[in-house]
Amino acid sequence: MARRFIVAGNWKMNTNIEEGILLAEQIQHGQRNPETEVILAVPYTHLFPIKKKIKASSGIRLAAQNCHDRNAGAFTGEISPTVLNTMKIPYVIIGHSERRMYNNESNELLASKIQAALNNGLKVIFCCGESLDIRRSNEHVNFVKQQLEESLFTVDSTTMKHIVIAYEPVWAIGTGETASPQQAQEMHAAIRKMIHNKYGKRIADNISILYGGSVKGSNAKDIFCQEDVDGGLVGGASLDSSDFLKIINSL
């Protein structure tokens, strides 16, 4: 297990297949920092066609944006972690703030999803973070601690090497509020300390913790230079290849 520098692009429900292929190819052929691992979390419909276009040697990996906690069954519209495994998709995002908000995903459900993903050989990008009300009440550290304890910390130490954490300050996304690099560092350091307390120093020192609060080419360098920030989970800026490449090269 080694602490890696990662920039992950979450395309959410954007681009059609042709647009997605073009965007992935622009990122693949762009000038990129070879020490930064690049992950593209694309819509389910795009996974297979983009996988065929991305060279294994490019250093770009694909991620699903979600998966179910069952391998199969009568779950219309869901995606099986077993299917993702057979497609050789290496990563899956679990616990994104939008899934928590719009799909009412509980910490208990997320714990089950994490285990299902790991059982199927997937690496997990686990998202955590607090709302504006919780930030203003100064309960943000305790809130994130509860998210980790009730979801991620059900994983044993031997499988933590398959986990990447993404901290999402939900309060700084689309609210007009801005998270400073120092605020990002504060929470990343707190998360790393929580991991240290649960799993020990070696695992805490080597797990990658990404920042997911409206990262752009203009602010990425200031955020990424913080000691405990190991990259970003990027939303809107990942849909523009030039901006996304600038973010990648900020590490």
In the annotation, is 168 catalytic?
Answer: yes
In the annotation, is 149 catalytic?
Answer: no
Q: For residue 12, give both structure tokens.
A: 């959410």
Q: Report the 10 Å Cβ neighbour count for 40.
A: 26
- Sign of the four-CA dihedral 40, 127, 83, 59: positive
Q: Which of 2, 14, 4, 118 is closest to 61 using CA atoms? A: 4
Q: Which one of the listed residues 46, 140, 168, 188 is annotated catalytic?
A: 168
Q: Which one of the listed residues 46, 68, 96, 140 is annotated catalytic?
A: 96
Helices (H), the chain: 17-29, 44-53, 81-86, 97-102, 107-119, 132-136, 140-150, 181-199, 201-206, 220-224, 241-248
Q: Which residues are catalytic?
A: 96, 168
